[in-house]
Amino acid sequence: QETEETRANLPRNMIENSMFEEEPDIVDLAKDSTTFPALDPDEVVYEPRSSRLLVRGLGENDMDEDEEDCESSARLLGMSFMNRSSALRSSSSPYTRQAPPSSCSRPSARTMVVCVFVLVIVASVTMALYFLPGCTFTKTGCRKPNKTTPLEPVYPLSTNGELFPWAQLRLPHSIRPLSYDLTLNPDLDSMTFTGHTVIQMSVLHSTKIIVLHSANLNIIKATFKAARDVTVLEYKPRQQIAVKFPEELKTGQYCVLTLDYSANLSHTYDGFYNSSYIDKAGNKRVLAATQFEPLSARKAFPCFDEPAFKATFLIKISRKPNYMTLSNMPKAKSTPLSNGLMQDEFEKTSVNMSTYLVAFIVANFTPISKNASKTLVSVYSVPEKKEYTDYAMDAASKLLEFYNKFFDIDYPLEKLDLVAIPDFLAGAMENWGLITFRETSLLVGKESSPLEKRVVATIIAHELAHQGNLFLAVRFRAMDKDALNSSHAVSTEVNTSEQVEEMFDSVSYEKGASILLMLNASLPWNQQFTKGIIQYLKQFNGLNTGTDDLWNSLTQVCRQNVSEMMHSWTSQKGFPLVTVSRKGNQVTLMQEHFLLTSDNGTLTSSLWNIPVTYVNDSCSLAPECRQVFTLKTKSGTLKLPGNVKWLKLNYRNTGFYIVHYGDEGWAALIEALSTNVTVLTPEDRASLIHNIFALSRLGRVSFHQVLNVLKYMSKETETSPVTEALLQLNIIYRLLDKRLEHDLAARMKSYILDNFGPLMDKQTWGVEENVSKQELRSALLGMACSLNQDKCIQQAKALFKEYVKSNGTTRIPDDLQQVVFTVAAQSEEDWSTLLGLFSATTYDAEKRKMLRGLASTQNAWHIVWILQAGLKGDIIQTQELPLVINTVCNGFTGYLFAWDFIQENWDRLIEKFSVGSYAMQIIIKSATSQFSTKAHFDQVYGFFSSLKERGSQMRSVQEALETIRLNQRWMDQNLPTLQKWL
């Protein structure tokens, strides 16, 4: 499952929106920090409305609720309420934990005796517990059983009050499903459905119960070899049902369980959910689609909803005659029913599948089709968007042929459908044979730019790589998140459904892909990695695998211990900092954990097996220049040939580590770049910029050194170094702006415009065909206009005026649309015009850019309206709410509105986007990553403490708290330096 464009590995078109289009950039600018305990719900009480107004210095008032939201926030824009520094905070704020009184009366002698007596009793009980044979102490008390005396499982109560006969999150392995026969009857008028599920199973171990998953399903009837009496129990917190039998099922026995049930179509974006869109005639059209990854097949039919429980599926769906249905397999037949409906039956799946890859759709879509590599490829869309499907068809057909050849494995299914869903939260989902997409991820206009087409092609390529469990390593950035103490290892045990959801993040996806890229780059140039991947895919075809299975396959082909190297990267969180020190031709490399939150409580002794690649001034550009040194221990030494002026580690930034060259090493690299910018590859130049900012956040280099590295930027011509530099500077600018350091923010703005102005001025506003130049132009002009550069603003306004005047016949170049729409949204009149265009536009890529523009407004009333409209979902689809919140938070006016909105609508948000989901991760990070004061920390801590099981223990919450503290410390430590420098 992919979030749109975040998995596309493309530079963002707008620095302004980088936090949404990629994993949001974590503003963790600090030298060190403290660790954070788990949130204690009883420690802080959250009072949304009164505390919000107290923090803003307004007190209570008697306004209508909607008026209050907008009016109080609007008035505050012209006041000093946004200065949230501790010095200006009201001491009565409920977000601040109150200190005890500074003095108290002296206790009496009697009180002292009683206290001593109580302490003696407590100490005695503690010692007694300590020596109990069945208890091993942990930090939280006597809860961890020792190995000699295991505790009995505690069985919970089912919904009817009877003990539920299973006590674990994961299902027992006594039963193995073999096949599912599913009959589904959706009613798109009442938004309900009924189902009939027949599961054929094999008994692996004798048992009296069958435990499987069911969520929000009303089980009407259960039969098991009709003669048997069966009891069905449900335990809702774990979404499990148990079928109990009076007699034991024997090992080796085959059996059939039949379940009839009813349910509502989901109104969120998972399970079997209802969707809608407005057609070109203005009529509302409804449809039903599925999204089962990771844990939602159980919301559509009772099943063994874990990836290891693979089975075959035969699916039948009833529909009205004017609708069509799709599923993983081709349609076998259609049968008229007595009630006037049609029942479509699909072929039985030709391969065993995990439940999360099952999919079906009931809609009125229009396809285009062609045969490619003996497979029928089809692209489906709503009828009025059929004209946008040609590019996806072409890309999918070519990619399918490429993958068949590259992996030496034929696509395993008879057909491949790519479907654009009008209302779809993820970017795309790799259901076997029926890949579902957001419309913006699949549909491309005939006049779209190569840049826009590349986005769609990359997403299609990623999703096709899943088919048949094919693997494709993709490179993404994940270091900002992995540098936090709240990060996690790539391979991590999960114990709750929320933790499963949270594993769909940049560490799992992007770091996982990055370390595979690093492995590939460290191997000889003879396709060993590809050969190992092919062997792995063929050996484990159709099976579940563990991490070691992949490493073992690569080890056999590569003839080196890949498992030893990769285990250090997958089993521990974080990544290394490699420090270089040089004496003549002898270079010493030291490794340590790059951890932004570093104090005595968080220092680690982690070691990585690092394939350190390096080049030097005698040969630095071609792949043949690259040399490899393996650093397995704390330090290692390598020798250079004579007369080496400078050394650059991590060739083309293929390694997942940060490099510190020391004062002399950095000086030599800076001198080399000032003489000839092309002496290093663009990837190497971008990595130097990223590394120097990271080292500044860690406190290892001064900000003056950061500026020295950036001095060469006026000569830069490539996208990746420019984009990285702008992103890092923009982070600091936003922190200053939202901390009310207006003078410093203004001077930072001047610095950016002065240093990047020549590059900005070179950009044209006409059609540009070169993709790389489009990316660079979009980044530079996006930054220029966001900083209100006069030339940029005037050009953008002129383009928008011409676009409106021509009734849309004059096209704004794709890479400039975001810049133009964002500038237009800052005008009251043009914002209203843009809203009208947004409502009328049918091409989704352009529509989404208009939405970003609308959300970038600095008008308080408009901000409140767009947040509420996104939640309501009529004018603005709720699937776009994370994007809206992220864009609003980028602006000075909107970031506090968004934080209020999230607090007051939390329950509705987690109803739409489940706790732990990627959407909620984006929302939390967007709203909190630019806070940098203790007052803000206390607010965030207080709110999330109050949530208890509704979100308080999410990893993204701990990440948010850590980020705020890091922001605070960096600002406190660096403001004097910035004042002196700027």
Q: What is the pLDDT of residue 22?
A: 33
Listed residue (595, 618, 486, 530) closest to 960, CA to CA: 486
At residue 602, the pLDDT reads: 58
Between CA 227 and CA 229 the distance in angstroms is 7
C-alpha 4/C-alpha 425 separation (Å) is: 9
Domains 369-469 and 471-571 share a fold: yes
Burial 917-950 (b: 16+ CB within 10 A, else e): bbbbbbbbbbbbbbbbbbbbbbbbbbbbbbbeee
Structure confidence by residue, pLDDT tens digits, 548-605:
888 888 888 887 888 888 889 888 888 999 999 999 899 999 999 999 986 655 567 7
Joined together, the tokens standing for residue 847 give: 């529509």
**Mean pLDDT lowest among 40-44, 82-86, 912-916, 957-961:** 82-86
Q: Is the pLDDT of residue 688 over 90?
A: yes
Determine the 3-state secondary structure of 241 from DSSP. strand
What pLDDT shows up at residue 466? 60
Residue 387 DSSP symbol:
G
Sketch the domain layout of the chain as residue ranges: 155-364, 369-469, 471-571
Confidence check: pLDDT of 497 > 80: no
Other Cβ atoms closer than 10 A to 605:
7
Structure-token pair, residue 395: 């890309």
Please give the order of strands across the beta sheet that includes 658-660. Answer: 635-639, 586-593, 576-583, 658-660
With vertex at residue 368, the alpha carbon angle to CA 362 and CA 373, rounded to the nearest 5 degrees, is 110
Q: What are the structure tokens assigned to 189, written together?
A: 């008028």
Residue 506 pLDDT class (50, 70, 90 cuts):
low
pLDDT of 365 strictly over 90: yes
Q: What is the second-level CATH architecture of the domain 369-469?
A: Orthogonal Bundle (1.10)
Cα–Cα distance for residue pair 729/29, rounded to 1 Å:
12
Phi, psi of 930 (to 5 degrees): -110, 10
Residue 420 backbone phi and psi in degrees, to 5:
-90, 115
User: Is 50's pLDDT higher than 50?
Assistant: no
876-894 pLDDT per residue, tens: 999 999 999 999 999 999 9
Contact 732, 29 (CB under 8 A): yes
Task: Give the tokens for residue 746.
Answer: 């203004």
Between CA 468 and CA 432 the distance in angstroms is: 7
**pLDDT per position as a tens digit, 642-683:** 889 999 999 999 999 999 999 999 999 999 999 999 999 999
Architecture field, domain 155-364: Sandwich (2.60)
In angstroms, the Cα distances linking 941 to 550, 936, 971 are: 41, 8, 20
Strand 434-438 to strand 415-421: parallel, antiparallel, or no bridges (unpaired)? parallel
Pair 489, 570: CB distance under 8 Å: yes
**pLDDT surpassing 80 at residue 773:** yes
Instruction: Give the 3-state secondary structure of residue 132.
Output: coil
Cα-flanking dihedrals φ and ψ of residue 411, to 5°?
-55, 130
Longest dimension (CA), the chain: 93
Instruction: Give 299: exposed, middle or buried? Use CB within 10 Å, 0-12, 13-18, 19+.
Output: buried
How far is residue 204's CA from residue 581's CA, in Å, rounded to a whole number? 60
**Distance from C-alpha of 425 to C-alpha of 361, rounded to nearest angstrom:** 15
Instruction: Pick the more confident residue, 902 or 487.
Output: 902
Would you state the structure tokens that stand for residue 504, as one six-digit string? 């769909």
Torsion angle of C-alpha atoms 477, 480, 481, 482, degrees rounded to 10: 80
Burial class (CB in 10 A: 0-12, 13-18, 19+), 103: exposed
- pLDDT band, very low/low/confident/very high, at 433 (cuts 50, 70, 90): very high
State phi, psi for 236 to the nearest 5 degrees: -65, -40
Beta strands in 96-150 (DSSP E): 136-138, 141-144
Q: Which CATH class is domain 471-571?
A: mainly alpha
Nearest residue to 15 via CA among 893, 961, 856: 856
435, β-bridge pairs: 418
Q: What is the mean pLDDT of residues 414-425?
A: 90
Report yes or no: 424 and 269 within 8 Å, Cβ to Cβ.
yes
Torsion of CA 413, 415, 419, 425, to 10 degrees: -10
Looking at residue 157, what is its pLDDT?
86
> What value does the CA radius of gyration of the chain take, rounded to a whole number of Å?
30
Which pLDDT score, from 0 to 100, does residue 247 have? 85
CA proximity to 29, closest of 980, 962, 976: 962
603 CB-side CA count, 13 A? 3
Which range is least confidently modeled, 131-140, 169-178, 497-506, 929-938? 131-140
Query: Other C-beta atoms within 10 Å of 290: how many?
Result: 25
Give the pLDDT confidence score for residue 104 in this predicted structure. Answer: 45
Task: Say which of 16, 293, 345, 463 is annotated catalytic.
Answer: 463
In this prediction the pTM is 0.75
Is the model's pLDDT at 504 over the cut of 50? yes
Q: Is residue 505 over pLDDT 90? A: no
Which amino acid, residue 524? P
Of all residues in the chain, the percent with pLDDT exceeding 70 is 80
466 is in an annotated binding site: yes
3-state secondary structure of 980: helix
**Calpha distance 597→970 (Å, rounded):** 11
Higher-pLDDT residue of 230 and 783 is 783
Q: What's the pLDDT band for 67 if we cut at 50, 70, 90? A: very low
- Do residues 926 and 919 make contact, with C-beta atoms less than 8 angstroms apart? no
**What are the CA-CA distances from residue 178 to residues 309, 310, 459, 892 (Å)?**
9, 7, 33, 57
**Catalytic residue status for 463:** yes
Q: Which of helix, strand or coil describes residue 312?
A: strand
Q: How far apart are CA 19 and CA 68, in angstroms?
A: 29
For residue 499, name the pLDDT band (cuts at 50, 70, 90). Answer: low
Q: What are the φ and ψ backbone dihedral angles of 878, each rounded to 5 degrees?
A: -65, -25
Run of H or E including 213: strand 207-213
Residue 39, amino acid? L
CB 818 within 8 A of CB 782: yes
Comparison of pLDDT for 331 and 413, the residue scoring more:
331
Q: For residues 315 and 330, what is the distance between their CA atoms, to the nearest angstrom?
A: 11
Mean pLDDT of 154-167: 88
CB of 775 closer than 8 Å to CB of 816: no
